[in-house]
Structure 1
Amino acid sequence: MDAEKVHEAVADGWDEDLMSSLSGLVAIPALSAAYDAGWERDGHLRAAADHVRDWITSRGLPGAQCEIVQLDGRAPLLVAEIPATDGGAAGGTVLLYGHLDKQPPLGDWSDGLDPWRPVLRGDRLYGRGSVDDGYSGYAAVSALAAVRAAGGDHARAIVLLETGEESGSPDLPAYLEHLSGRLGEVSLVVCLDGGGGDYERLWLTTSLRGVVQATLTVRVLETAAHSGIASGIVPSSFRVMRRLLDRVEDSETGEVTIPEMNVPIPPDRRAEAEALAALEPGVSARRFPLVGGMRPVSDDDVELILNNTWRPTLSVIGAAGLPDPAVAGAVLRASTSLRLSFRTPPTVDAGAARDALVRILTTDVPYGAQAEVHDFMLLDGWQAPASAPWLTSALDEIGDQVFDAPCRGFGLGGGIPFMEMLSRRYPGAQFVVTGALGADSNMHVPDEWLNIPFAKQVTEAVAHILDAHARH
């Protein structure tokens, strides 16, 4: 395959109508179902799938078939099938994955920016879903087209774009079962929902943490009471909540103390963290906008990386029962609810962790208060298999030809539900989890943006991986 022609084909593809179509996708408020109870009525998820399907169809890839699959009551799934080139027919199936659903706007965006209005500033495309990860389907199809334009080969390819990833991919098991005969024997999975620490190299995700989310509600009264009359007699629901949280987290260190959420850290992952810390000392703390005088939880870069990738953590991400301070009355409230989000190590069993959490928080509750743990969202983590020799060789070439810097592996603190599902279904497949996300891309928060030159390089790298996979 002609590397220069790959570069030219990718650049031309991005600079022509790809950017226009991607901008149109950003403008669709395709909130994931977890954030839009009326998603089916509103039709935005279907509109996003229709939009990208039309673009893929317009590419004219020989023999390509593109359709939207939607099972009853489930968010739609966009599936594009591209036949193998003559030289790639024996390579099984390569599955290229991304998602079209989006997080909510989540706060005020900067002046001139809006979650549903694409804004191009220099090399940045701003808007919700631009980098997480609306670009993924465009990059996958463009990589396949570039392979063909440069005289390379690729195996039979399935581009699968779901619309429920931000909700934990609850519909994917049903779709995988529904499509199992069509998918065939998957030998390579390319996920474009990842990224890395900078825009200088291709980053490969070697592990993903799992998730255990739940709402903890503590009730102390049938109805609220005047705080001057009830306090000292009835314990505050918030104080009971604090004592329960102390059972699962050391508030001094942040250590999650639930045994079922802790695992030994593999030596190779610790070595990976040490290499990453040496690459750019202090970067783990610098990439976040800490307030003045604030410091991270440790001064040791390696420990920060391991905290973020192989140790469990607790974040309180929501609350109910607490009025705004400006209108808070002298009331001892009847209940307090907190949304707890545990990030768990890649090899933790989320179901076992959930059961332990419920047992710990609902047994012998202080003062006999009512404690309920409900509204669960569970996600098992994932660890990548060792790279096959052909993939290692391809990554070395990509480091030389595309980025002029070696590829790097690292653990990601977040999760991608599809990876764990696929690794169980296709245990012999190779996994490439990468993408255009950067630490400052603002995914899930205001001012999300896509680094366009880097996205082009990622597309180019995927083209090289597809060709290497077909040839090995």
Structure 2
Amino acid sequence: MIAKAQAQVDSGAFFAELATLVRYPTVSDAPEGRVAIKAYLDDVLTPRLEALGCAVETHPNPDPAGGPFLVGTRVEAPGLPTLLCYGHADVVGEAGRWSEGRDPWTLTADGDRWYGRGTADNKGQHLVNLTALRLLLAETGSLGFNLKFLFETGEEIGSPGLTEFAETHRDLLRADVLIASDGPRLDAATPTLFLGARGSVRIALDVDLRPDAYHSGNWGGILRNPATTLAAAVASLVDGHGRIQVPELLPPELPDTVRAALDGVIVANTPGDPLPDEGWGDPRLTAAERLYGWNTLEVLSLGAADVDRPVNAIPGRARAVLQLRYVVGTDVGGTAEAIRQHLAAQGLSMVGVTVDGNFRASRTPVDDPWAGWAKSTLDKIAEKPVALLPNFGGGLPNHVFTDVLGLATLWLPHSYPGCLQHAPDEHLLASVAREGLVLATALFHALRERR
């Protein structure tokens, strides 16, 4: 089966199939994208799930902001383990110009890179898993387990309605384990298994003091400057070395199991990656611990007046948007109040604070039996060490599977950090797709032997 998995990529069959998937502009935050999404569900995913022997249903989203859900179900025998797979059909909107005149909706190859919107996030990744399941079924005549495959259509806009859908359809989605693919592996060369995701909280700081700007020569020294005030507010939350200054924004501890899992993990190890900056972040932690086991507070935007064409005037308002990436164990329910109290104690109560949560932090414990089984299976088939990460650094709706459905979650990503997934020139590495298809096929084959 390994040779057959490799041949899918080597023969060009996988590339040709992925080209079909990329052709659909399934942008979830655009009306025309909703039309493409429906066509993608009907014309692409439904036939492929039916070819796996699945009964396929499309379900409406309980949240009008989100699109429909597609569920494929294959039941071989009641006593067999049940696998839940997940993928998302939507992609981000177009962002800027692609190099060399590339069309984001046309798959093109340049050496090891396959360019196209959705190649890495998430069409190429869920195609790997669909192909691996198809190879297993063709080889053995049965999967040896029951299969449920859930596709959502709004992951790129925060998965609206997914939690409510899972709560309402617990029986439909009932399973023993989730195996899915999204996000990046540790680096291009390292097969990776991760068990969850960090959560995300967006924090807006607004200093809106007056409707007009006033001449700095006539009013400087007697009118409070919103930009100066905002700079002080940001620095009081996270200092100039990236260290969070508000205890309520930090996790209570770094668990020993997480520390052990991250021991020896090297980050930013792909050629062309930026080098981690010395002295940035908590000095007590390694780079891997800061990225995968701890919280970070990043400034996403910061501005007042026209930063490119300043005039000699004190601006009337200033705004910054920050993002807290947080791990399991962090209590983010009181984030806004904690920040307000902290700023008030600094004499900065005039700074307005608005907090908007997104994906919640969640992870399957590192010592969960399913994690040990998956890691040992991948170690046997991979030709290099497999990294086990407690969670990856970004956000995914993993909490739906751990917290709502009560599942162990195993994420086997088929992308890498430099894939440019939300930017021009998004790409999938052919070498990673080839290796990922081998690993996914082996993992599904091992599941049929697990009782």
The change in CA–CA distance for 1:390 and 1:221 in structure 2 (over 3 A counts) is: closer
The change in CA–CA distance for 1:55 and 1:163 in structure 2 (over 3 A counts) is: closer
Gaps of 5+ in 2: none
Task: Show CA shifts across 1:291-314 (max 9, x none).
Answer: 9xx757279896111111222212
Cα contact 1:45–1:100 (8 A) shared by 2: no
Q: Which amino acid aligns with 2:319?
A: S
Structure 1 residue 418: Cα displacement? 1.9
Cα contact 1:25–1:52 (8 A) shared by 2: no
2:405 pairs with 1:426 = yes
Cα contact 1:287–1:439 (8 A) shared by 2: no
Task: Show CA shifts across 1:106-136 (max 9, x none).
Answer: 4554334354443222332112321021223
Task: Name the counterpart of 2:299.
Answer: 316
> Match of 1:453, SS?
helix
Task: Name the counterpart of 1:36.
Answer: none
Select which of 72, 84, 97 maps to 1:95.
Answer: 84
2:18 pairs with 1:22 = yes
Select which of 209, 213, 230 maps to 2:198.
Answer: 209
Q: CA separation in 1, counterparts of 2:370 and 2:209?
A: 62
2:244 pairs with 1:259 = no
Q: CA separation in 1, counterparts of 2:284 and 2:39?
A: 44
Cα contact 1:23–1:118 (8 A) shared by 2: yes
> Match of 1:48, SS?
helix
The change in CA–CA distance for 1:134 and 1:272 in structure 2 (over 3 A counts) is: same
Structure 1 segment 69-468 matched on structure 2, within 5 A: 69-71=59-61, 73-85=64-76, 89-151=78-140, 153-183=143-173, 185-251=174-240, 253-262=241-250, 263-277=252-266, 283=268, 288-289=273-274, 297=280, 303-319=286-302, 321-325=304-308, 327-361=309-343, 363=344, 366=347, 369=350, 371-374=351-354, 376-386=356-366, 392-393=372-373, 395-401=375-381, 403-427=382-406, 429-468=407-446
Task: Show CA shifts across 1:365-397 (max 9, x none).
Answer: 74763x222261343212223466576355434
Q: CA separation in 2, counterparts of 1:268 and 1:107?
A: 42
Cα contact 1:207–1:309 (8 A) shared by 2: no
The change in CA–CA distance for 1:9 and 1:307 in structure 2 (over 3 A counts) is: closer
Q: CA separation in 1, counterparts of 2:354 and 2:208?
A: 14
The change in CA–CA distance for 1:46 and 1:67 in structure 2 (over 3 A counts) is: farther
Q: Which has the higher helix share?
A: 1
> Match of 2:438, SS?
helix
Q: Which amino acid aligns with 2:274?
A: P
Q: Which amino acid aligns with 2:150?
A: L
Q: CA separation in 2, counterparts of 1:368 and 1:56?
A: 52
* TM-score, normalization by structure 2: 0.87
Cα contact 2:303–2:318 (8 A) shared by 1: yes
Q: CA separation in 1, counterparts of 2:295 and 2:257?
A: 19
Structure 1 residue 204: Cα displacement? 0.8
The change in CA–CA distance for 1:109 and 1:290 in structure 2 (over 3 A counts) is: farther
Q: Which amino acid aligns with 2:424?
A: P
Cα contact 1:165–1:416 (8 A) shared by 2: no
Q: CA separation in 2, counterparts of 1:15 and 1:8?
A: 10
The change in CA–CA distance for 1:309 and 1:179 in structure 2 (over 3 A counts) is: same
Cα contact 1:211–1:350 (8 A) shared by 2: no
- Number of equivalenced pairs: 446
Gaps of 5+ in 1: 34-38
> Match of 1:66, SS?
strand
Structure 1 residue 286: Cα displacement? 6.6
Cα contact 1:395–1:465 (8 A) shared by 2: no
Structure 1 residue 432: Cα displacement? 0.9
State, as a whole percentage, how many aligned pairs show the same letter.
22
> Match of 1:182, SS?
helix
Q: CA separation in 1, counterparts of 2:371 and 2:361?
A: 23
Q: CA separation in 2, counterparts of 1:287 and 1:272?
A: 26
Indicate the larger mover: 140-149 or 414-423.
Answer: 414-423
Q: CA separation in 2, counterparts of 1:143 and 1:130?
A: 17
* TM-score, normalization by structure 1: 0.83
> Match of 2:71, SS?
strand
Q: CA separation in 1, counterparts of 2:358 and 2:188?
A: 31
Q: Which amino acid aligns with 1:431?
A: T
Cα contact 2:364–2:390 (8 A) shared by 1: no
Q: Which amino acid aligns with 2:47?
A: S
The change in CA–CA distance for 1:275 and 1:367 in structure 2 (over 3 A counts) is: closer
